[in-house]
Amino acid sequence: MSPTSRSEQLWVVPELGPSLGRLVDPPPAAPGALGVPLGDLRVELVSRLFDLAGAARSFAATGDHAGAIASLGRVAWLGLWEKTVAAAAERIAVAANRALESAAEESRFPARRLRPLRLTDDDTRAIGARLGSGGAPFVAALDVLERTVHATGSARGREAEGAQAWRTALGAVARRLESAWLALEDAARREEERWGAEVARVRAWRRPVWPLWLVTALVAGAAAWLGLILGGYLPTPPALEGLAAFWWTRL
């Protein structure tokens, strides 16, 4: 076997699908309080990963081990994950704002009070931070992968050992990504429940009726008082003497 053929066998890119687990084949999930869809983001994430793996295999087939390693390196994995987290956070924020507006229109919630309840860019970033908090083990696995890459590059005499360590680290990263996605789904449900409760509060709001009753009572009281004056049951105040005289002359 030529050295090139042997090297190509050593640097075969592993199949990531089995290590991705439920990220590839998830069980049916109940929709959240806001009904935010995340399934297409999961599919896009997996598809992008498979594209990276395909590019890595192409590099490995030509003996370009550095290209294969870079295609599935820390930067590539982390970039896909951060993009997915940001997209999920944006969807939740948009859905929450739309639901708040719809609820406010239904209950006639005052616009000036709705404005501070709407989610801002800062709120979206905070949601993203909470969604991505479950990815800490994934990032740690990426750090291990990075160290493995550095060790592999400096171990020319241990190529078989280095290639095996690289494949093992890739499998660990894929498994941690599955866990990170499941944590993201759980966090997304909590976010939807949180903002869904805010939406329900706006929808249940009712305009206070006491001002209307107060005005009604004042008008009724004033009308009764004026009627008693014009009927001669109460003394006429100086300010109303002209009105009273006009009224009595009309009778």
Higher pLDDT, 207 or 134: 134
Once rounded to an integer, what is the mean pLDDT over residues 178-206? 94
What value does the mean pLDDT of the chain take?
Answer: 85
Confidence grade of residue 205 (pLDDT, cut at 50, 70, 90): confident
Length of the chain in residues, anyone?
251
* One domain, residues 15 and 82: yes
Residues 223 and 115 in one domain: no
Do residues 165 and 152 make contact, with C-beta atoms less than 8 angstroms apart?
Answer: yes
Residue 80 CA to residue 45 CA, distance in Å, equals: 7
What are the tokens at 221? 């009281």
Whether 175 and 194 share a structural domain: yes
Residue 91 has pLDDT above 80, yes or no: yes
Answer yes or no: do 185 and 240 share one domain.
no
Band (pLDDT 50/70/90 cuts) for residue 157 is: very low
- CA atoms of 54 and 234, how far apart (whole Å): 98
> Are 22 and 134 found together in one domain?
yes
**250: confidence class by pLDDT, cuts 50, 70, 90:** low
Same-domain pairing of 171 and 191: yes
- Determine what percent of the chain is predicted with pLDDT higher than 90: 54
Rounded to 5°, the CA angle 226-228-231 comes to 105
pLDDT of residue 2: 44
56 and 176 share one domain = yes
- DSSP code of residue 135: G
| Structural domain count of the chain | 2
What is the tens place of the pLDDT at every residue in 122-151?
999 999 999 999 999 999 999 999 988 776
When mean pLDDT is compared across 125-129, 186-190, 244-248, the lowest value belongs to 244-248
Q: Based on the domain organization, do 197 and 216 belong to the same domain?
A: no
Shared-domain flag, residues 223 and 152: no
Using one digit for the tens of pLDDT, what is the confidence trace for 25-77?
888 877 888 999 999 999 999 999 999 999 999 988 888 888 888 899 999 99
> Of 172, 191, 207, which closes a domain?
207
Most distant CA pair in the chain: distance in Å?
127
Residue position matching structure tokens 């309840």: 117
Which range of residues forms the domain containing residue 234? Answer: 211-250
- Are 104 and 46 in a shared domain? yes
Give the span between the Cα atoms of 124 and 31, in whole angstroms. 20
User: Cα 225 vs. chain centroid, distance in angstroms?
Assistant: 61
Residues 52 and 169 in one domain: yes
pTM to 2 decimal places: 0.78
Same domain for 164 and 242, yes or no, is no
What is residue 108's DSSP assignment? T
**Residue 5 pLDDT level (bands cut at 50, 70, 90):** very low
- What local confidence, expressed as pLDDT, does residue 164 receive? 85
